[in-house]
Amino acid sequence: MKRSARGAVVVLASALFASTLLVITPAQATVIGEATLTPSTGNADSIISVGTPAPCAAPAVKVRVIVTGFGFPALGKVVYSPQTTGFSTENPMNLSLSNTFFVYATAESTYLAGDYDIRAQCVNSLGTTIYDEFSTTMRWTTPGNLLANVGSATYTSGALPAPAATVNPSVTGTAKVGYRLTCASGTWTNATSYAYQWKRSDVAISGAIASTYLLAGGEYGKSISCQVTATGAGGSTPVTSAGRTIAAGTIAVRTKPYIAGTVKVGRTIKTTKGTWSVAGLTYTYQWKRNGVSISGTAARKYFYKVVARDKSKYLTCTVRVAKAGYTSTTSTTARKKAA
């Protein structure tokens, strides 16, 4: 067994051939079977064999094993020891490694932790055509620095586990129209990235794929949830949060309305709308005399003609604002005495 202080990779060396490290980009081939590793679990001292469920079929004349993963040179695909003997065209193949995960690592690779893809390929004499391919995966867990913890580096092989939520996603923030909610992704195992999809009453909202969502008027009274899809080497897993029922939004006055014009019998006065915290409002008006609503449609417009009955009385106007999904709100002008 040979170890290198430079890190960790697999070397597949035939006893009949010197181990030569090549870097290629092979043509794509159909994976016709799943390879197995023996032992299926092990540590940094294990010498591994790659087994296939079937032999190489003609016209293949060589077999090679390619390993791709964290601890390997930056170009990614590394070819180990092409063989022209040592495999059968009649029986499943057993490709024994003559070394461990301790040769040909990149200088930066002092950790083994991560996922690795292992492929046994049946190729032509030049290695430019792939006829058959068998694949499997392995995952290394390494506590701390590899060079300081060689004995504790361990692996498992076979299908990598899909992401799993240990704490489900949740919706945080104020669940009222006009507020922005946040999708907390939760806590996962075996996940490297997350995607988001907001839902309204369990139906996906088109285009709502950010981690936050601004509640519109149409959300009032509806249940809003978010789906998180976690992706890792073992696949993708979606989990949807519990829903939040959305309350009506609130509208706040920023600048009170006021009466403009000379408040005198025979003159027409107007009220401003005021300014509000929400855009897109509808407005209704009610003029009042000494605090009591004046009857008739003439007193339900933004302008009002002062009549003889108003003389020496105090006039005000109440502006009511409304919008779908929001609670209607009013604001009343300061009073002015009619002359």
Beta strands in 168-313 (DSSP E): 170-172, 180-184, 187-189, 193-200, 203-204, 212-214, 223-232, 235-240, 244-245, 253-255, 259-260, 268-271, 275-276, 282-289, 292-293, 303-305
CATH topology of domain 21-157: Immunoglobulin-like (2.60.40)
pLDDT above 70 (res 131): yes
For 162-171, what is each residue's pLDDT tens digit? 899 999 999 9
From CA 95, how far away is CA 184, in angstroms rounded?
46
pTM above 0.95, yes or no: no
Q: How far apart are the first and last CA of the chain?
A: 108
* Mean pLDDT across 41-47: 77
Asked if 284 and 317 count as a contact pair (C-beta separation under 8 A), the reply is no
Mean pLDDT lowest among 32-41, 114-123, 152-161, 323-332 = 152-161
Residue located via tokens 């695909």: 77
pLDDT above 90 (res 201): yes
Domain 253-337 listed as CATH 2.60.40.2700: yes
pLDDT above 90 (res 315): yes
Asked if 139 and 156 count as a contact pair (C-beta separation under 8 A), the reply is yes
Q: What are 170's two structure tokens?
A: 């949740």
Mean pLDDT of the chain: 81
192: left (phi over 0), alpha (psi -120 to 50) or beta: alpha
Q: What are 157's two structure tokens?
A: 């092989």
Domain ranges of the chain: 21-157, 164-245, 253-337
From CA 82, how far away is CA 294, in angstroms rounded?
98
Domain 164-245 listed as CATH 2.60.40.2700: yes
C-beta atoms surrounding 159 within 10 Å: 11
Domains 21-157 and 164-245 belong to one CATH topology:
yes
Q: In 3-state terms, the chain is what percent helix, strand and coil (to 5)?
A: 5, 45, 50
